Amino acid sequence: MAAGNGKSKANSATKGTAKKQAPAKASATKSRGAASDKDVPPDARSRAALLATSLRHHDTLYYQSDAPEIPDAEYDLLRRELVALEAAHPSLLTADSPTQQVGVAPAEGFETAPHRSPMLSLDNAMNADEMRAFDARITRMLLQDTETGDRAETPPDLTLDYIAEPKLDGSGIELIFKNGRFVQGLTRGDGQTGEDVTTNLHHVPSIPKTLATDNPPAIASVRGEMILPLAAFEQLNKGRVKRELRPFENPRNAAAGSLRQIHDVDYERLGSLEFRVYALEEGRPESFLRQSETLELLREWGFIVSPEIAICRGVDEAIAFHEQLQTLRGELPVEIDGTVFKVDTITEQNVLGTLARAPRWAIAFKFPPEQAETILEGIDFQVGRTGAITPVARLAPVRVGGVTVSNASLHNQDEIDRKDIRVGDRIVIQRAGDVIPQIVRVRLDRRHEAFKENRTLQRQSLPAHCPVCNAATLRLEGEAVTRCANLECPAQLKTNLTHLASRSALDIDGLGGKLVEQLVNAGLVSRLSDLFALDEERVLRLERMGEKSAANLIASLDRARKTTLPRLLIALGIRHVGATVAELLADHFPTLDDLLAAPPEAIAAIEGIGPTIAESMSRFTADGANRAELARLTELGLVLEEPAPKPTGADAQANLLEGLTFVLTGTMSRARGEIKKDIEAAGGKVTASVSKKTSYVVAGEAPGSKVKKAGDLEVTVLDEAGLLTLLGSD
Ligand code: IVH
């Protein structure tokens, strides 16, 4: 597992905003250090809160869902920023800060058990300077210790011996052996408590079930990394693709996923895992003086120790070893992402000691992302959930970081233009832990070779017509993304139908993704309104559809026919029109006809609705096909009722937020609609776009560009806890 981190696949929203400072005008959260809070500049506090929220989100994705969203390197940047803020303002540091945690609490589904002692993480060094700083820091500490006389045997020459081990990119595991017999195996979990995966571990061949010794300790706590060798990883993913399952992003996620199988356990997958040992936490013979001796003993006991280990005398040798390991990296059968250096002498380890999260005597010196060169053979276009058309680079297959890759993300047209990427180009790609790499740059200096090698270079633009339905594509001003504008595009239809059926929209009970898929595939629904034209007889034509389910679906559709204007607006999936905007629109245009008749200026004039939303809304209402669709919905019995009145007077909380305007962004722990209601009940207003008049932006997880805008306009950014503080309910 990566050093207390490890993410893949960039989430541009998080990536873009996480590095930005979001200046704040007022106190952001109450949960962070109360007494000395006034010494902390508000922008530092709100930034720390935002970083903490973001890190928690990524920790959960990484440790619990085995589905990271951002590359390790990006996670490390976020974490380092928070560490720096907490160091500069100690009152920001709370016990529950992600910088003090190792992983997250175990997921539901497995029994949990406490570790015999905490499973710690490692601090990182990203370059030789940081490695030298680490060496200087601990050397200084050891020397100080000698001066105070606590450690008389410290040699005068303090060139430290480091044991270098590959940093294996898998999942940390603790194995307990009682009198030499394997009795329990735990995942790292939150470092204190792990998931009990003993049963699955019995199927991993490289875990000895009895230690190969006549003299085992009463208890041995053996720690190491569960990895999936690259060949097995590629094999596993090939099988998944064949079965139309999503391939794993990287061997690390695949290993963690294999280990945590609960139902229909695939024993072959477990059989291809490999356990490599790196520590004997408990059960070490007292006579042992060095970590290297411990590894030797573990090898004798029957464990696999990585072959690429060495003792490095001093930091220069350590750096040289790291560079050598990096050149070997691509040839190794397993994924590694750096070198772990540990002070080899156990007495010195003990003097240096351990902090809450990581030992002081070890460091993970990380490799930079791996790069390789290949030819860009073509660009495919995929239509995503919201109609967004994403270019995907098709590459001549190339091995990078031990994995063969044949496509790369290209994000959008701007990126293609900015990097001047042409089909036929020789390009540099980069993998940062994930299988899908990014295009770093074009080898412009080698373009002249194309002719000799029979490659024609072609500029490529995003298509003017959707590759799935052939409708015209459009790119709104100020947006990077080109979209298919056809709501009925089969690529979008399924997502739009699922969205329409969701709770905050028309709330159609029983209509989930699977049923939507069936309805569209069977040709029963090819536009939104078709749903309301369904009858039992037609629904019964679907495979495996019983009479009761068919009757239930029709009854749900009947109930959903009676709705409100805001719900309908949400259900239509109009770009930028979520719950807040829908309510604002309905407040100003009480009926659908009023809204359809409203000129764009009237929509743009609503306070809290910015020009982007107004343009999107007007474009939607101006479209004849959309109007026809709305008319058909009415014909098919859709009725709009008055929304329930908002709480006022005695129902409302004291007007705590009177005169304040809020903008909500990102994923919150509760539905945004509910949060909006709370704010309104306390006299506040919620608008959709950030302006100078906005009092606060409340940012949930993975917040969007609104946080950046808030930063530009110097609007305070709160997290959810900060909002609760304002509401007086914290
Ligand atoms: S030693 C107290 N050695 O990296 C020190 N960890 O970021 C604990 N890892 O949780 C770890 N290779 O899962 C150690 N040779 C190695 C390692 C290694 C991979 C993982 C391990 C740990 C994480 C820390």
First-to-last alpha carbon distance for the chain, in angstroms, is 36
Beta-carbon contacts of 46 under 8 Å, excluding residues fewer than 6 positions away, are 22, 23, 24, 28, 29, 716, 717, 718, 719, 722
Q: Quote the CA–CA distance of 211 and 539 in Å, as a whole number.
A: 61
278 lines ligand 1 (CB under 6 A): yes
85 lines ligand 1 (CB under 6 A): no
pLDDT: which is higher, 399 or 223: 223
CA-proximal residue: ligand 1, atom 10 (nearest) = 121
At residue 561, φ and ψ (nearest 5 deg) are -60, -30
Q: What are the DSSP E strand ranges found in 590-706?
A: 639-641, 661-665, 685-687, 696-699
**Burial 691-709, CB ≥16 within 10 A → b, else e:** eeebbbbbbbbbbbebbbb
Ligand 1 pocket, mutate which of 123, 126, 168, 349 (most atoms under 8 A from CB): 168
> In this predicted structure, what is the pLDDT of residue 104?
56
Token pair 């905003």: residue: 17
- In a shared domain, residues 611 and 575: yes
Cα 190 to middle of ligand 1, angstroms: 14
Cα 278 to middle of ligand 1, angstroms: 7
> In this predicted structure, what is the pLDDT of residue 262?
78
> In this predicted structure, what is the pLDDT of residue 699?
85
Which value, to the nearest 10 degrees, does the dihedral of the CA atoms of residues 496, 500, 504, 510 take? Answer: -120
362 lines ligand 1 (CB under 6 A): yes
Give 561's pLDDT tier (boundaries 50, 70, 90): very high
The mean pLDDT value of the chain amounts to 83
Catalytic residue among 7, 9, 167, 494: 167
Beta-carbon contacts of 170 under 8 Å, excluding residues fewer than 6 positions away, are 1, 225, 226, 227, 228, 251, 252, 255, 256, 276, 335
Domain assignment present for residue 141? The answer is yes
Token pair 């898998």: residue: 170
- In a shared domain, residues 429 and 501: no
- In a shared domain, residues 576 and 719: no
Give 728's pLDDT tier (boundaries 50, 70, 90): low
pLDDT digit string, tens, across residues 127-139: 999 999 999 999 9
**Burial 627-652, CB ≥16 within 10 A → b, else e:** eebbebbeeeebebeebeeeeeeeee
102 lines ligand 1 (CB under 6 A): no
- In a shared domain, residues 241 and 189: yes
Cα 49 to middle of ligand 1, angstroms: 28
Position 649 pLDDT exceeds 70: no
Domain assignment present for residue 344? The answer is yes
CA nearest neighbour of 7 among 73, 99, 102, 77:
73
Highest average pLDDT, of 107-121, 449-463, 475-489, 543-557, comes from 543-557
Q: How many CB atoms lie within 10 A of CB 249?
A: 20
- Average pLDDT, integer, range 346-370: 93
The residues that bridge with 366 in the sheet, in sequence order, are 338
Structure tokens at 230: 């690259």
225 lines ligand 1 (CB under 6 A): yes
CA-proximal residue: ligand 1, atom 13 (nearest) = 172
- In a shared domain, residues 428 and 558: no
- The answer to whether the CB of 709 falls within 8 A of the CB of 13 is no
Cα 141 to middle of ligand 1, angstroms: 23
Specify the number of domains making up the chain. Answer: 4
Domain assignment present for residue 570? The answer is yes
Cα 122 to middle of ligand 1, angstroms: 6
Position 76 pLDDT exceeds 90: no
Q: Quote the CA–CA distance of 679 and 659 in Å, as a whole number.
A: 11
CA nearest neighbour of 255 among 142, 172, 320:
172
Could you tell me the residue range of the domain that residue 718 belongs to? 661-726
Cα 265 to middle of ligand 1, angstroms: 27
pLDDT digit string, tens, across residues 289-305: 999 999 999 999 999 99
CA nearest neighbour of 192 among 105, 66, 281, 277:
105
Position 117 pLDDT exceeds 90: yes
Cα 533 to middle of ligand 1, angstroms: 59
The CATH number of residue 390's host domain is: 2.40.50.140
Cα 161 to middle of ligand 1, angstroms: 18
Ligand 1 pocket, mutate which of 121, 306, 321 (most atoms under 8 A from CB): 121
4 lines ligand 1 (CB under 6 A): yes
- Average pLDDT, integer, range 372-394: 86
- Average pLDDT, integer, range 376-384: 87
Ligand 1 pocket, mutate which of 63, 278, 329, 366 (most atoms under 8 A from CB): 278
- Ligand 1, residue 169: give the atom nearest the CA: 19
340 lines ligand 1 (CB under 6 A): yes
- Ligand 1, residue 4: give the atom nearest the CA: 7
Structure tokens at 334: 């397993």
Cα 716 to middle of ligand 1, angstroms: 39
- In a shared domain, residues 222 and 192: yes
pTM: 0.55
- Average pLDDT, integer, range 599-604: 89
* Residue 366 CB burial class (10 angstroms; 0-12, 13-18, ≥19): buried
The CATH number of residue 181's host domain is: 3.30.470.30
CA-proximal residue: ligand 1, atom 20 (nearest) = 1
42 lines ligand 1 (CB under 6 A): no
Ligand 1 pocket, mutate which of 102, 167, 259, 366 (most atoms under 8 A from CB): 167
pLDDT digit string, tens, across residues 534-551: 999 999 999 889 999 999
The percent helix, strand, coil of the chain (3-state, each to 5) is: 40, 20, 40
Position 239 pLDDT exceeds 80: yes
- Ligand 1, residue 121: give the atom nearest the CA: 24
Q: Quote the CA–CA distance of 659 and 364 in Å, as a whole number.
A: 51
> In this predicted structure, what is the pLDDT of residue 72?
65
> In this predicted structure, what is the pLDDT of residue 214?
95
Phi-psi region of 417 (alpha: psi -120 to 50; beta: other; left: phi over 0): alpha
Domain assignment present for residue 231? The answer is yes
- Average pLDDT, integer, range 423-438: 84
**Number of helices (H), then strands (E), in the chain:** 26, 26
Q: Quote the CA–CA distance of 170 and 542 in Å, as a whole number.
A: 43
325 lines ligand 1 (CB under 6 A): no
255 lines ligand 1 (CB under 6 A): no
165 lines ligand 1 (CB under 6 A): yes
Cα 3 to middle of ligand 1, angstroms: 7
> In this predicted structure, what is the pLDDT of residue 342?
98
Ligand 1 pocket, mutate which of 72, 122, 339 (most atoms under 8 A from CB): 122
172 lines ligand 1 (CB under 6 A): yes
> In this predicted structure, what is the pLDDT of residue 65?
59
The CATH number of residue 689's host domain is: 3.40.50.10190
Which value, to the nearest 10 degrees, does the dihedral of the CA atoms of residues 516, 517, 523, 527 take? Answer: 50
CA-proximal residue: ligand 1, atom 14 (nearest) = 278
pLDDT digit string, tens, across residues 140-192: 999 986 655 555 454 556 899 999 999 999 999 999 999 999 999 999 988 99
> In this predicted structure, what is the pLDDT of residue 634?
95
Residue 596 Cα to chain centre, angstroms: 39
Residues in the chain: 730
Sequence letter at residue 160: L
The residues that bridge with 280 in the sheet, in sequence order, are 222
> In this predicted structure, what is the pLDDT of residue 645?
62
Position 405 pLDDT exceeds 70: yes
- In a shared domain, residues 405 and 311: no
Position 87 pLDDT exceeds 90: no
At residue 339, φ and ψ (nearest 5 deg) are -120, 135
> In this predicted structure, what is the pLDDT of residue 19?
28
The CATH number of residue 538's host domain is: 1.10.150.20
DSSP, residue by residue, 289-350: -BHHHHHHHHHHHT-B--S--EEEEHHHHHHHHHHHHHHHGGGSSS-EEEEEEEESBHHHHH
Cα 186 to middle of ligand 1, angstroms: 15
Give 16's pLDDT tier (boundaries 50, 70, 90): very low
- In a shared domain, residues 625 and 675: no
Cα angle, residue 595 at apex, residues 594 and 600 outer, rounded to 5°: 120
Position 35 pLDDT exceeds 60: no
> In this predicted structure, what is the pLDDT of residue 18?
29
- In a shared domain, residues 531 and 618: yes
- The last residue of one of the domains, among 588, 608, 640, is 640
> In this predicted structure, what is the pLDDT of residue 244?
61
121 lines ligand 1 (CB under 6 A): yes
DSSP, residue by residue, 218-274: SEEEEEEEEE--HHHHHHHHHHHHHTTPPPPSSHHHHHHHHHT--SS--HHHHHT-E
> In this predicted structure, what is the pLDDT of residue 539?
95
- In a shared domain, residues 284 and 135: yes
The least confident of 161-165, 485-489, 549-553, 556-560 is 485-489
- In a shared domain, residues 625 and 676: no
- Ligand 1, residue 5: give the atom nearest the CA: 7
> In this predicted structure, what is the pLDDT of residue 542?
92
Domain assignment present for residue 56? The answer is no
pLDDT digit string, tens, across residues 659-710: 788 899 887 877 787 788 888 887 888 888 888 888 888 888 777 788 888 8
- Average pLDDT, integer, range 74-86: 80
167 is catalytic: yes
- The last residue of one of the domains, among 349, 366, 383, is 366
Domain assignment present for residue 66? The answer is no
CA nearest neighbour of 42 among 21, 71, 69:
21
Domain assignment present for residue 68? The answer is no
Highest average pLDDT, of 28-32, 80-84, 343-347, 465-469, comes from 343-347
Cα angle, residue 221 at apex, residues 305 and 354 outer, rounded to 5°: 90
Cα 262 to middle of ligand 1, angstroms: 25
Token pair 């932006």: residue: 697
SS3 per residue for 177-207: EECCEEEEEEECCCCCEEEECHHHHCCCCCC
Position 11 pLDDT exceeds 80: no
- In a shared domain, residues 426 and 285: no
Structure tokens at 344: 């080899």
CA-proximal residue: ligand 1, atom 17 (nearest) = 167
- The last residue of one of the domains, among 608, 640, 672, is 640
Q: Quote the CA–CA distance of 430 and 291 in Å, as a whole number.
A: 35
> In this predicted structure, what is the pLDDT of residue 369?
84
CA-proximal residue: ligand 1, atom 3 (nearest) = 278
- Ligand 1, residue 359: give the atom nearest the CA: 2
- Ligand 1, residue 173: give the atom nearest the CA: 13
122 lines ligand 1 (CB under 6 A): yes
167 lines ligand 1 (CB under 6 A): yes
Domain assignment present for residue 702? The answer is yes
What sign results for the dihedral spanned by CA atoms 206, 209, 214, 217?
A: positive
366 lines ligand 1 (CB under 6 A): no
CA nearest neighbour of 350 among 285, 290, 310, 278:
290
485 lines ligand 1 (CB under 6 A): no
Cα 279 to middle of ligand 1, angstroms: 9
The residues that bridge with 123 in the sheet, in sequence order, are 363
Position 114 pLDDT exceeds 70: yes
**Burial 26-45, CB ≥16 within 10 A → b, else e:** ebbbebbbeeebeebebbbb
CA-proximal residue: ligand 1, atom 1 (nearest) = 278
